[in-house]
């Protein structure tokens, strides 16, 4: 069996199967591509990222300081900037997370040697010198070519503090805050659009009830004044549908633009399990939790539809991803974990769900960007690697701002014990140049899936694609072998007579391009 998988991998993933192993017997999936039923735009902001003051995400991640030997621009690593620009990263959320409701933005402006130090009581109890603050983050976003998403402090902060922050970064005329910005070296405002009005108000953001938070939100949002602000309410933890109902009932629609939702692929919060070397049961349970995103979005959307049938308010899934036990020998409060093909499965399947619900899901943020949780980038000193999750995000960038093509999927099940999950998920889109892209994920750890896609009614002349898979489901990139897992050309696609046939290996992600 191991010989077959190695050979399978060495043959450029051309999907040649030797013999008849029971664990690799193909299953059948049928997909109908409804190319004549375009269903609105997939917002590029679904492909957003998250940078919290947590562990080595900011300090010793993005930011190494201007005196570092690592090539940088104003202290920000050039290699990270280049890697994220290659993802067409649309937005970046900062400074938290739980840190946001402990962060006082005025501590992070002005001359760096005059900024007060703070203790990050939320994550690891480490002391930070505030050398990375508002100017540093917003100028980094300019380097990245991305839109900033600022999370405001409604927990330990004040209404005036958040109102001042909005004025500081956005007001173009003369005012106390814009004058202070100019004094600190920034003549023109940054014109930040996306604003979170607190974070996880039900927990680390203040342990509030939804009824209490409604009043707080209305107050804060009223005094966040400026043009073109996109205000996002702190939303539900997973399946807390009462939270969403209370916000939709209690907040005037003209006061908010989005409601957040947080869901991590964690089967057991008390015993998350390792990021590598996990059992099939741990893999199955993690994928079960990840695929639950479909149910959560469907049910929260149904509540929002009652009060907002025109879908003015977005569902903003601004924290999602896999969460495991930290790597041995690392600070438990730093949440540093390895990223494997299991994480690629989480990413591909979740992004398919977001794409297919893009009528309501307009913004999402993978947690997190560098060195924390399901990171797309890991660093160690001067070394940097791209994770399997990074490669999925790069393969899927073709969907950004493309027109959704609805799909109907009938798939076999991935069975483990007495439980089962759908093996294959699919989403499709048509971009501005007329190209059609189909992304397909097989989460089944053991079996190949034969997929037949009905494209009747469209005359496609050619198909090409890329695949991400590996010999083992916990394969990952290391600083010694940073390209162990990376995309390859996909050769197992046949287009004939209105039908597209492909073979998906176990635990694989494929993105096809049809012309």
- The residues assigned a catalytic role are 200, 319
Cα 282 to its chain centre, rounded Å, is 22
- The CB density around residue 163, as the number of other CB atoms within 10 Å, is 18
**Dihedral sign from CA coordinates of 110, 113, 115, 118:** positive
Alpha helix stretches (DSSP H) within 230-340: 241-250, 280-291, 293-307
- The CB density around residue 490, as the number of other CB atoms within 10 Å, is 26
Strands 72-73 and 76-77: antiparallel
Within 8 A by CB and 6+ apart from 305, the residues are 311
Quote the DSSP letter at residue 66: T
Quote the DSSP letter at residue 424: E
- What does the alpha-carbon distance between residue 326 and residue 162 come to, in Å, rounded to a whole number? 34
- What does the alpha-carbon distance between residue 111 and residue 131 come to, in Å, rounded to a whole number? 9
Contact (CB, 8 A) for 351 and 359:
no
Contact (CB, 8 A) for 396 and 266:
no
- The CB density around residue 434, as the number of other CB atoms within 10 Å, is 7
Contact (CB, 8 A) for 121 and 181:
no
The tokens of 106 are what?
């005025």
Would you report the helix, strand and coil content of the chain in percent, each value rounded to 5? 30, 25, 45
């Amino acid at each position: 069996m191991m010989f077959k998988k190695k050979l399978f991998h060495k043959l450029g993933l051309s999907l040649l199967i030797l013999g008849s192993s029971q664990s690799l017997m193909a299953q059948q999936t049928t997909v109908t591509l409804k190319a004549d039923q375009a269903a609105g735009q997939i917002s590029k902001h679904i492909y957003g990222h998250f940078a919290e003051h947590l562990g080595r995400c900011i300090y010793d991640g993005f930011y190494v300081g201007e005196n570092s030997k690592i090539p940088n621009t104003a202290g920000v690593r050039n290699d990270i900037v280049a890697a994220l620009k290659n993802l067409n990263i649309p937005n970046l959320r900062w400074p938290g997370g739980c840190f946001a409701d402990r962060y006082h933005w005025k501590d992070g402006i002005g001359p760096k040697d005059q900024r007060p130090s703070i203790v990050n009581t939320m994550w690891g109890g480490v002391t930070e010198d505030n050398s990375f603050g508002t100017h540093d983050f917003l100028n980094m976003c300019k380097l990245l070519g991305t839109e900033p998403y600022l999370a405001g402090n409604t927990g330990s902060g004040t209404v005036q503090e958040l109102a001042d922050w909005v004025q500081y970064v956005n007001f173009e005329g003369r005012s106390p805050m814009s004058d202070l910005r100019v004094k600190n070296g920034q003549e023109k405002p940054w014109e930040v659009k996306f604003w979170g009005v607190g974070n996880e108000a039900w927990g680390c953001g203040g342990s509030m009830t939804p009824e209490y938070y409604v009043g707080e939100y209305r107050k804060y949002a009223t005094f966040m004044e400026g043009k073109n602000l996109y205000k996002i309410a702190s939303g539900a933890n997973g399946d807390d549908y009462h939270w969403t109902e209370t916000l939709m009932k209690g907040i005037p629609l003209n006061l908010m633009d989005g409601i957040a939702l947080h869901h991590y692929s964690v089967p057991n919060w008390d015993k998350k399990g390792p990021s590598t070397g996990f059992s099939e049961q741990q893999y199955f349970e993690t994928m079960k939790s990840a695929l639950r995103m479909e149910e959560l979005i469907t049910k929260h959307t149904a509540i929002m539809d009652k009060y907002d049938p025109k879908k003015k308010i977005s569902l903003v899934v601004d924290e999602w991803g896999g969460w495991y036990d930290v790597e041995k020998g690392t600070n438990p409060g730093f949440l540093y974990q390895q990223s494997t093909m299991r994480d690629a499965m989480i990413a591909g399947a979740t992004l398919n769900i977001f794409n297919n619900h893009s009528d309501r899901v307009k913004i999402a943020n993978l947690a997190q960007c560098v060195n924390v949780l399901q990171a797309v980038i890991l660093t160690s000193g001067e070394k940097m690697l791209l994770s399997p999750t990074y490669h999925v995000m790069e393969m899927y960038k073709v969907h950004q701002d493309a027109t959704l093509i609805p799909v109907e999927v009938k798939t076999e099940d991935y069975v483990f014990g007495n439980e089962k999950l759908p093996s294959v998920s699919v989403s499709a889109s048509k971009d501005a140049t007329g190209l059609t892209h189909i992304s397909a994920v097989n989460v089944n750890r053991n079996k190949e899936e034969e997929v037949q896609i009905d494209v009747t009614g469209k005359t496609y002349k050619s198909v090409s694609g890329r695949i991400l898979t590996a010999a083992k489901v916990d394969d990952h990139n290391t600083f010694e072998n940073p390209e162990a897992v990376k995309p390859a050309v996909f050769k197992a696609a046949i287009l004939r007579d209105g039908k597209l046939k492909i073979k998906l290996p176990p635990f694989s992600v494929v993105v096809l391009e049809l012309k």
